[in-house]
Structure 1
Amino acid sequence: MKEIHELTSMDMVDSFIQQHTLTLLYVSRQECSVCHALLPKIRELLQPYPSIALGHIDANQVEEVASKFLIFTVPMMLVLVEQKEVVRADRFVRLDRLAEQLEQIYSSYA
């Protein structure tokens, strides 16, 4: 199963993004049932992509994440390539579409 890096501060988030060329940030909240259901599916979806680092941010714990990335709802998935956002998916994610986007990104950068 894909390793999840728990990011508990904006300094950790910024450092994580800088350390990895390909990053998927998963932003959730404790009380969000959709968030809890979707995270295992995202982990499974990322399994074939070892170079994509998965970071998890609890928006209740790291409140600044909402303003930094303009997040209005959770769950939110942000895919970054070389620290630039290339994919944004929120709330009700079409996993098939996200998988296609990840494949395109991965084949170009990995």
Structure 2
Amino acid sequence: MNNESLEEILHSIKDNKLSLILASTKNCGVCTSIEPRVEYLVNKYPNINYKHIFIDSMIKASGEFTIFTVPTIIMFAQGKEVHRESRFIDFENLEFEISRWYDYLFN
């Protein structure tokens, strides 16, 4: 769980080359089940700025990031949104996109 404010999260997205946000709610079973897979994937790429936000605790985040359903994963490269997946997460595609942007930005 992330205890940062929305402003701190937005600042960290701008300050890091590559950021990944997992947006969920506390009572979302699917969100709970995919969280370990997302964390495993992010740990393979040490320079990714990873944030897990609960939009039921941070309501303004759903508006800021245009989140209509959970889980939603949003990836930012150099502060710009470059990839988004919602509800049904294709982890193979997600890893491909992370790898592609990671190689571009860090290699």
TM-score normalised by length of structure 2: 0.92
- Aligned counterpart in structure 2 of residue 94 of structure 1, from 90, 93, 96: 90
Name structure 2 gaps, 5 residues minimum: none
Partner in structure 2 of residue 76 of structure 1: 72
Q: How large is the RMSD of aligned CA atoms in angstroms?
A: 1.3
1:26 aligns with 2:44: no
Partner in structure 1 of residue 43 of structure 2: 47
User: Which 4+ runs in 1 deviate beyond 4 A?
Assistant: none
How many pairs align?
Answer: 106
56-65 vs 9-18, which moves further? 9-18
Instruction: Output the CA distance in 1 between the equivalents of 2:86 and 2:25.
Output: 13
59-68 vs 13-22, which moves further? 13-22
The one-letter code of the counterpart of 2:8 is: M
TM-score normalised by length of structure 1: 0.90
Deviations 1:53-90 (A, max 9, x none): 11011101110111111110011111001110000011
Shift of 1:30: 0.3
1:59 aligns with 2:55: yes
Instruction: Give me the identity figure in percent.
Output: 27
Name structure 1 gaps, 5 residues minimum: none
